[in-house]
């Protein structure tokens, strides 16, 4: 049994190493909220290991001791001290720590920048509200934030319950139909952090990832400006052919602001400036024209159960053109 205890300690140590380069790890905090929780975690891991070791040493000693040299302790004393006084003291201290920390994590004024995130089966709709006559930015699965300042994420759901979780930056918060929840996100420094839906939400719950890109405030402002501009008509023959095919085949569900307006219900992500996003299909594939083409033709194999129709009837040239058009929407 002691050997097992040792194995436990080894795993915990190994875990710290594994966490260091984690892009989706609560133990590699990159923001004040995640750091404060990670500190609490390490305190608790240490404390819990000590308690477990003590309990097991007592129990194993009680069983394996040599009877001759053994000294009894009154039952009630042992229970009152070990089973009552000790947990009451340590747990009270821990509780006070935890409750204060919880208050701290939610304290302070609401941040100036609010980003609206709506969960869909199985992707994230992201909106930056319009301001001062500037149009609203609608994008998907990739959230840009200014580094070093808190932003507020307003969380809603379009269908079932999802949960927004970017472990390097903060704990998670659910997206619940009929409600708006808020979460504060802050990154210490520029970087890319992966997140994922944490509440089981159906077929492709596993492929509902998102990327948070923290940038220096000026670069963030530039990014937001660029996103506010409508898409421009593509140059090049293939891309132009893709533009026409997009208008014909894709605009029932998708918009490209400035070029193609969605005709049907709000079911597919807005694809304006799709070329500026790192991944497609909520973190499923890297965003390359090739992958775009593959996803359009065979998304049922890449992300089975997703809501997008399969366009395997399109000829290879049209598919390639669509890839060029979408990849060119920077």
Partner 1 sequence: MARDRAASGERDQLHANLERVWANDPGLGQLRAVNHSSIGLRFIVTGFVFFLIGGLLAMLIRSQLALPLNDLLDHQDYAQAFTMHGTTMMFFFAVPIMEGFAVYLIPKLIGARDLVFPRLSAFGYWCYLFGGILLYSSFFVGAVPDGGWFMYVPLNSSAFTPGAGPDFWLLGVTFAEISAVAAAVELIVAILKTRTAGMAIQRMPIYAWYILVTAFMILFGFPPLILASILLEIERAFGLPFFDAALGGDPLLWQHLFWIFGHPEVYIIFVPAAGLVSAILPTFAQRPLAAYSWVVLAVIATGFISFGLWVHHMFTVGIPLLSLAFFSAASMAVAVPTGIQVFAWIATLWNGRPLLRVPLLYILGFLFVFVLGGLTGVMVALVPFDWQVHDTHFVVAHLHYVLFGGMVFPLFAAFYYWLPLFSGRAPSERLSRLAFWMIFLGFNITFLPMHATGLIGMTRRAYTYLPGLGWETLNLVSTLGGFLLAAGVGMFLVDFLLHYGFGRRAERNHWNAGTLEWAIAAPVPPYNFVAQPRVATREPLWSDPALAQRNARGEGYLGLPDPKRRETLMTSTLHGEPEAVIVLPGNTWTPLVAALFTALFFVGFLAKLYWLAAIGATLAFASLFFWAWQGGSRDQDTAMQAAADCRLPLHRTLAHSPGWWGTLYALLADGTLFLSLVFAYFYLWTVSPHWPPAGYAAGGLLLPTLATAALIAAGLAVAWGLRRLRAGRSSGPGMALFAAAVLGVAFMVLEVSALLGTEVPAREHAYGALVHFLVGYQFVHVLFAVLMGLFVLVRMRRGFAGSARPSEAAVVGLFWRYTVLQWLLGYSVMHLFPRLL
Residue list 2-41, contact with partner 1 (CB under 8 A):
4, 7-8, 11-12, 14-15, 18-19, 21-28, 34, 36-37, 40-41
Query: Of 161, 247, 267, 314, which lies in the binding site for partner 1, with binding defined by CB under 8 A?
Result: 161
Cα distances (angstroms) measured from residue 258 to each of 240, 251, 270: 15, 13, 12
Least separation, in Å, of the C-beta of 324 and partner 1? 26
Q: Cα–Cα distance between 202 and 199 in angstroms, integer?
A: 9
CB closer to partner 1 out of 158 and 247 = 158
Least separation, in Å, of the C-beta of 24 and partner 1? 3
Please list every residue from 193 through 222 that binds partner 1, using CB under 8 A: 194, 196-207
CB closer to partner 1 out of 170 and 318 = 170
Contact flags string 39-78 toward partner 1, x per CB under 8 A: -xx--x---x--xx--xx-xxxxxxx--x----xx-xx-x
CB closer to partner 1 out of 33 and 139 = 33
Least separation, in Å, of the C-beta of 250 and partner 1? 25
CB closer to partner 1 out of 58 and 317 = 58
Place of tokens 């994230």: 124
CA angle 148, 168, 159 (to 5 degrees): 105
CB closer to partner 1 out of 202 and 230 = 202
Please list every residue from 240 through 299 that binds partner 1, using CB under 8 A: 283
Contact flags string 87-106 toward partner 1, x per CB under 8 A: xx--x--xx--xx-xxx-xx
CB closer to partner 1 out of 186 and 227 = 186
CB closer to partner 1 out of 106 and 330 = 106
Q: Are strands 209-215 and 191-196 parallel, antiparallel or unpaired?
A: antiparallel
CB closer to partner 1 out of 16 and 233 = 16
Kindly report the number of other CB atoms within 10 A of residue 13's CB atom: 10
> Total binding residues for partner 1 by CB under 8 A?
94
Query: Of 173, 224, 247, 314, which lies in the binding site for partner 1, with binding defined by CB under 8 A?
Result: 173
Site stretch for partner 1 (CB under 8 A), options 84-92, 124-132, 223-231, 244-252: 84-92
CA atoms within 13 A on the CB side of 209: 19
Site stretch for partner 1 (CB under 8 A), options 133-141, 175-183, 218-226, 259-267: 175-183
Peptide bond into 122 cis (omega under 30): yes
117 is a site residue for partner 1 (CB under 8 A): no
Q: Cα–Cα distance between 137 and 129 in angstroms, integer?
A: 7
DSSP 265: -
CB 114 within 8 Å of CB 155: no
CB 179 within 8 Å of CB 194: no
Least separation, in Å, of the C-beta of 142 and partner 1? 16
> In 3D, which of 11, 273, 315, 281 has the Cα closest to residue 144?
273
Q: Which residues contact 307 (CB under 8 A, 6 or more apart)?
A: 121, 267, 268
Least separation, in Å, of the C-beta of 269 and partner 1? 19
Q: Cα–Cα distance between 182 and 111 in angstroms, integer?
A: 11
Segments in the chain forming alpha helices (H): 2-20, 32-64, 75-78, 86-106, 217-228, 237-249, 289-302, 316-327
For 195, list phi and psi in degrees, rounded to 5: -135, 170
């Amino acid at each position: 049994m002691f050997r097992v205890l040792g194995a436990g300690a080894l795993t915990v140590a190994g875990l710290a190493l594994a966490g260091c380069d984690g892009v989706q790890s609560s133990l590699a905090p990159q923001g004040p909220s995640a750091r404060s929780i990670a500190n609490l975690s390490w305190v608790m891991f240490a404390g819990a290991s000590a308690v477990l070791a003590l309990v097991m040493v007592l129990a194993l000693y009680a069983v394996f001791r040599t009877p001759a040299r053994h000294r009894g302790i009154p039952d009630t004393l042992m229970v009152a001290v070990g089973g009552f006084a000790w947990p009451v003291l340590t747990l009270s201290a821990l509780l006070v720590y935890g409750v204060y920390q919880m208050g701290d994590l939610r304290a302070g004024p609401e941040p100036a920048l609010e980003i609206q995130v709506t969960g869909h089966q199985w992707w994230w709709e992201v909106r930056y509200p319009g301001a001062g006559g500037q149009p609203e930015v609608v994008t998907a699965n990739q959230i840009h934030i200014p580094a070093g300042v808190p932003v507020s994420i307003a969380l809603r759901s379009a269908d079932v319950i999802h949960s927004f979780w970017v472990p390097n930056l903060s704990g998670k918060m659910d997206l619940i139909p009929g409600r708006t929840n808020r979460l504060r996100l802050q990154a210490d420094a520029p970087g890319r952090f992966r997140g994922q839906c944490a509440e089981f939400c159906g077929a492709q719950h596993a492929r509902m990832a998102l990327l948070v890109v923290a940038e220096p405030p000026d670069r963030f402002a530039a990014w937001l400006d660029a996103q506010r501009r409508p898409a421009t008509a593509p140059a090049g023959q293939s891309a132009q052919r893709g533009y026409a095919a997009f208008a014909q085949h894709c605009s029932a569900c998708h918009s490209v602001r400035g070029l193609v307006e969605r005709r049907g219900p709000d079911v597919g992500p807005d694809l304006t400036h799709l070329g500026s996003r790192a991944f497609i299909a909520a973190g499923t594939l890297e965003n390359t024209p090739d992958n775009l083409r593959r996803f359009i033709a065979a998304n049922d194999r890449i992300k089975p159960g997703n809501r997008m129709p399969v366009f395997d009837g399109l000829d290879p040239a049209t598919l390639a053109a669509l890839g060029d058009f979408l990849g060119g929407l920077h």
